[in-house]
Amino acid sequence: MTRPGDTEGAGAARHRRSAGLLLFRRAADGGTEVLLGHMGGPYYARKEAGAWTVPKGEYPPEEHAWEAARREFEEELGLPPPDGTAVPLGEVRQAGGKVVTVWAVRADLDPATVVPGTFGMEWPPRSGRRQEFPELDRVRWFSLAEAREVIVKAQAAFLDRLAEHSDGG
């Protein structure tokens, strides 16, 4: 069976890979809105620009990107991934080298229903204390123009590709 993302190359194992789902909907004004999450944890607590992301996560080489995108959506948001046609938005390479693969799915979701997953880290640094933080501390809908102002820089390409697909903007 051919699944979204079956074109992954042999070089995938050399780089960290991440996969996610970008939800989109038609706004009241006829434009397109996308659902983004604000990265949790102390490093992003006071940041807006560059601190919002497509709900996504890393996956091991043996897992297929499409399954990882669906699994990570549920882990990040605490909700099952929506049904609907998946629109492949391709890949981008982020500044740190991570390759991110994303599909867009038309769906509506109430951000108030999100129950984010958590991660643990030593905080403050070198304190010996481990703390838990939400993977995403906020989730909200943005117009494409608003999203371009806050999304991780490399991920803005996904917004452009979605706009081409949906004629939104």
d(CA 120, CA 139): 20
Residues in a beta bridge with 92: 100
d(CA 67, CA 109): 20
Residue 2 lies in a domain: no
Residue 5 lies in a domain: no
Question: Of 168 and 130, which is predicted with more confidence?
Answer: 130
pLDDT at residue 11 tops 90: no
Mean pLDDT of 139-157: 98
Residue 142 lies in a domain: yes
How far is CA 51 from its chain centroid? 11
| Residue 100 neighbours by CB under 8 Å, 6+ apart | 17, 18, 19, 20, 54, 56, 91, 92, 93, 94, 154, 155
Mean pLDDT across the chain, nearest whole number?
Answer: 91
Residue 146 lies in a domain: yes
> Residue 13's pLDDT is what?
43
What global pTM score does this model have? 0.88
Residue 114 lies in a domain: yes
> Residue 14's pLDDT is what?
56
> Residue 167's pLDDT is what?
61
Residue 50 lies in a domain: yes
Phi then psi dihedrals of residue 135, to 5 deg: -60, -45
Share of the chain above pLDDT 90, in %: 88
Residue 6 lies in a domain: no
**What is the domain-level CATH number for residue 159?**
3.90.79.10
Residue 158 lies in a domain: yes
Query: pLDDT tens, 80-109?
Result: 999 999 999 999 999 999 999 999 999 999
Q: Residue 43 belongs to what domain range?
A: 16-166
Query: pLDDT tens, 61-84?
Result: 999 999 999 999 999 999 999 999
Domain count, the chain: 1
